[in-house]
Structure 1
Amino acid sequence: MSAVLVMGATGKVGRHVVVRLRELGHAVRPVSRSSPVRFDWADRSTWQPALAGADTLYLNVWGAVGTADPAEFTELAVRSGVRRIVALSGRGDDGEDYLLKTPYGPWAQAVLDGERAAGESGAEWTIVRPCWFAQTFEEDPKLSELRDGEVAIPVGDGTVPFVDATDIAAVAVAALTEDGHQEQSYELSGPRPLTFPEAVAEIARATGREIRQMPVEIPEYVRRLIGGGYDRAAAEMQAGPFEWLHRGKTGFLSDGVQRAIGREPRDFADYAKRAAATGVWSAGSPK
């Protein structure tokens, strides 16, 4: 039986893709740098073994930044028998060129390169372009601050219609396993735009905890991250998307979830309740 190769299989979206494919009865090959069948963008000797026997590919290029050209991999994938590629990208608009000029630029360029690699590969292709994940609040530095009860993020009045990673995975799985999604680019968002303070307030309600919010400017945010152990390049990369948010480029709604799977996207409040029930934001949880 041919397999679906899932890259980034331990990530926020990839792990849900793996679970759903298995629920549907598909043979799945989940790969990462630590999986039994190992895949590492920086180690080309791992590419062919990962592709062996796969005819469908969930392409996640985030790990390719500074290490590999996604087109080189997709060309090898097609030569190895892959006939369908679903690429995880990121939602953009006329601010895209601006984002490329920020410290976040290499990551933005990588996802654009991934889109081109999928589209020019000769395989059937679908692009999945989500806005900011709701699950971003389960990652540092936001995670540690939420557990400590004080959040300092340079957000201003910008809004984001956070999309649940389970919705992203549902769209990806539909495109991987069903006909009718070829040559489609699905831009995904949640059902309503929220400011970061509004999102944090939803988390506070879901956890029953007081979470203080402290506004900071981007330079101060970078300094705080460096003081917390980040090197400057990593701190500036973390701050890059907030510059885009300040420009008002993130608050618009998209209908990709509805178009791809025929239902409304999950609301952030539902995500917050579900995540809070796991204890992820509880004070004193392991970091």
Structure 2
Amino acid sequence: MIVVTAAGGQTGRAVVRALRARDLPVRAVVGRRGPRPELEELGADVVVAELTQPLAWSGVLAGADALYLIWPNFDPDEAEGATALFAEARRAGVGRVVYHSVLRPQAHSMPHHTAKDRAQEALDRAGVAWRVLQPCAYAQNLDEEVQRAADTGVLRSFWGLRTAQSLVDVADVGESAAVLLTEDGLDGGTFEVAGPEPLTAPRMAELIGEALGREVVAEDVIPAGDVPVSYRARCRRLMLDHYRAHGFVGSPRVATALLGRPPRSYAEHLADVLASA
């Protein structure tokens, strides 16, 4: 049985979907009570547990062969909380821990990357068999902007017009996670998962325009004011500042090896998004 945390989010659902497609039993952990129709329809055992209370996890982890630890985005407790859960996984005898990190966690200009870097260091000391997945930014994160661009003819870019991102489809992230959770010979490895091409905002606008059959242009949206104080808003602002200055590009070679095929292109993702509009 495989435990997946934060299973109600887009990453968690993708991982659960990939595991259930392999007919593997999954315990899907969510933070709040309430209907979870997609997880239930997939046949997952849905349980409620708070990530910041690791002592309550002995029952959740009982009998688990593997744990996929996803921490909620932009949460200031990630480094300490993940460290505590790694220790709980060791006490519970979990055979394999896979941590959901991020591409380039050593980029400490972004606080949430620093937290994931610290968590990876703790995982290496945790006394468990481990693997780490380091995905690039998701193609799905920009779907609302794509829909807006389809309506207005303008794609807003909050990371400038010059630098690129290797956007990856979250379905490929889920499939890659399933490989790390189930296949032998990968312990102690960190695996970057990036899309097949670096995309600037103008190139994305061009692809959207091609899919729509009309012109779409990219517009630079420059942030105003000081960096926010709240952790979540600060993380988001500093992340976009980093993307604007340096981009966020990775190689697709590791994803291709894990998936046994090239990762999905942004054009393929766009076709799905615009077809569902």
What's the offset of the Cα at 1:233?
A: 5.5
Distance 1:44 1:86, change over 3 A: closer
Sequence identity (%): 26
Please give the secondary structure, in 2, of the residue aligned with 1:85: strand
Distance, in Å, in 2 between the alignment partners of 1:114 and 1:129 is 13
Q: TM-score, normalised by structure 2?
A: 0.82
Partner AA of 1:244 in structure 2: H
Matched, 1:115 2:128: no
Encode CA deviations 1:238-277: one digit per residue, 9 max, x unaligned: 2222221222242342421123233211111001112222
2:224 alignment partner in structure 1: 219
Matched, 1:178 2:183: yes
What's the offset of the Cα at 1:185?
A: 0.9
1:152 alignment partner in structure 2: 156
Please give the secondary structure, in 2, of the residue aligned with 1:121: coil
Distance, in Å, in 1 between the alignment partners of 2:128 and 2:53 is 24
- Of residues 205-214 and 25-34 in structure 1, the stretch that sits farther from structure 2 once superposed is 205-214
Matched, 1:82 2:94: yes
1:51 alignment partner in structure 2: 61
Encode CA deviations 1:184-238: one digit per residue, 9 max, x unaligned: 1111111111102322442344355765543222327x89xx9xxxx96644432
Distance 1:255 1:52, change over 3 A: same
Please give the secondary structure, in 2, of the residue aligned with 1:29: strand
Distance, in Å, in 1 between the alignment partners of 2:232 and 2:212 is 30
What's the offset of the Cα at 1:135?
A: 1.1
- Of residues 245-254 and 162-171 in structure 1, the stretch that sits farther from structure 2 once superposed is 245-254
Please give the secondary structure, in 2, of the residue aligned with 1:69: helix
2:36 alignment partner in structure 1: none
Partner AA of 2:157 in structure 1: I
- Which of 163, 178, 183 is equivalent to 2:168? 163
Q: TM-score, normalised by structure 1?
A: 0.79
Distance 1:93 1:118, change over 3 A: closer
2:192 alignment partner in structure 1: 187
Encode CA deviations 1:57-80: one digit per residue, 9 max, x unaligned: 001123683334311111111111
Contact in 1 for aligned 2:105/2:117 (Cα 8 Å) = no
Provide the aligned length of Structure 1 versus Structure 2: 261
Please give the secondary structure, in 2, of the residue aligned with 1:126: strand
Distance, in Å, in 2 between the alignment partners of 1:200 and 1:232 is 32
Distance 1:206 1:43, change over 3 A: farther
Q: Which runs of 5+ in 1 are unaligned?
A: 280-287
Matched, 1:203 2:208: yes
1:283 alignment partner in structure 2: none
Contact in 1 for aligned 2:66/2:96 (Cα 8 Å) = yes
